[in-house]
Amino acid sequence: MSDEGSREVVVRTVDVVKQYGEGEAAVRALNGVTCEIFSGEYLSIMGPSGSGKSTLFNMIGGLDKPNEGSVFVNSVDIAQLTPKELAFLRCHTIGYIFQTFNLISVRTALENVTLPMLFAGLTPEEADERGIKLLELVGLGHRLHHRPSELSGGQQQRVAIARSLANNPSIILADEPTGNLDLKTGQEIIDLLRTLNVERGVTIISATHDHKMLDVSDRIFHIRDGQLALVETREELDKAKAGV
Amino acid sequence: MQTQFKNIDPPMWVAWNQAKASIRVRFLRMLITSIGVALGIAFFSSMEVLAFSPVKAGMQSHSQMQWLTGTSLVMCLVGVTNSMLMSVTERYREIGTIKCLGASDSFIVKVFFLEALLLGAIGSFGGALIGTLLMAAVMAATTGGPGVGSIGLVLLIGTGVGMLMTVLAAVAPAIQASKMPAAAALRVDV
Structural domain boundaries in chain B: 25-187
Angle between helix B148-178 and helix B27-52 axes, rounded to 10 deg: 140
- Nearest Cβ partner for B183 among A64, A88, A121: A64
Helix (H) or strand (E) holding B138: helix B105-142
φ/ψ of B9, rounded to 5, equals -115, 135
pLDDT tens-digit series, residues A156-202? 999 999 999 999 999 999 998 998 888 888 899 999 999 999 998 99
Q: Where are the beta strands (DSSP E) in A57-193?
A: 68-73, 76-77, 94-97, 171-175
For residue B99, the chain A residues in CB contact (below 8 A) are: 63, 87, 90
Contact between residue B182 and residue B99 where contact means Cβ atoms under 8 Å apart: yes
pLDDT over 90 (residue B69): no
Instruction: Check residue B68 and give its pLDDT.
Output: 81
pLDDT per residue as tens, chain A (244 positions): 445 556 899 999 999 999 988 888 888 899 999 999 999 999 999 998 888 888 998 999 888 889 999 999 998 999 889 989 999 999 999 999 998 999 999 999 999 999 999 999 999 999 999 999 999 999 999 999 999 999 999 999 999 999 999 999 999 999 989 988 888 888 999 999 999 999 989 999 999 888 888 889 999 999 999 999 999 998 888 888 777 5
End-to-end CA distance of chain A: 18
- Number of Cβ within a 10 Å radius of residue B95: 24
Instruction: Check residue B55 and give its pLDDT.
Output: 63
- Nearest Cβ partner for A84 among B1, B7, B186: B7
Instruction: Check residue A1 and give its pLDDT.
Output: 44
Q: What is the mean pLDDT of residues B12-28?
A: 90
Q: Which of A105-119, B5-19, B56-70 has the lowest mean pLDDT?
A: B56-70
Q: Do A65 and B104 touch (CB under 8 A)?
A: no
Chain A contact residues (CB < 8 Å to B)? 8, 10, 39, 58, 61-65, 73-76, 83-85, 87-93, 96, 98, 102-107, 111, 115-116, 118-121, 147, 163, 166-167, 170
Q: Do B102 and A91 touch (CB under 8 A)?
A: yes
Q: Do B18 and A65 touch (CB under 8 A)?
A: no
pLDDT tens-digit series, residues B104-162? 999 999 999 999 999 999 999 999 999 999 988 888 888 766 666 788 899 999 999 99
Contact between residue B187 and residue A103 where contact means Cβ atoms under 8 Å apart: no
Query: Does ipTM exceed 0.95?
Result: no
| Partners of A222 in beta bridges | A46, A230
Distance of CA A106 to the CA centre of its chain: 24
φ/ψ of A211, rounded to 5, equals -70, -15
Q: What is the DSSP letter of A8?
A: P
Q: Do A64 and B24 touch (CB under 8 A)?
A: no
Residue B65 class from Cβ within 10 Å (0-12 exposed, 13-18 middle, 19+ buried)?
Answer: middle
Residues 6+ apart with CB under 8 A from B180: B92, B95, B96
Helix (H) or strand (E) holding A44: strand A42-46
pLDDT over 90 (residue B86): no
A41 to chain B nearest CA, in Å? 16
CA distances from B146 to A236, B38, B42, B124, B159 (A): 88, 22, 16, 21, 19
Instruction: Check residue A2 and give its pLDDT.
Output: 44
Q: Which of B17, B94, B97 to mutate to test the interface with A (most CBs of A within 10 A)?
A: B97
pLDDT over 70 (residue B2): no
Q: What is the mean pLDDT of residues B17-43?
A: 89
Planar angle of CA A132, A162, B178, nearest 5 degrees? 110
pTM of the model: 0.86
φ/ψ of A12, rounded to 5, equals -135, 130
End-to-end CA distance of chain B: 40
Instruction: Check residue B56 and give its pLDDT.
Output: 56
Nearest-angstrom CA–CA distance, B60 and B66: 10
Contact between residue B5 and residue A85 where contact means Cβ atoms under 8 Å apart: yes
Q: Which residue has the higher pLDDT, A15 or B2?
A: A15
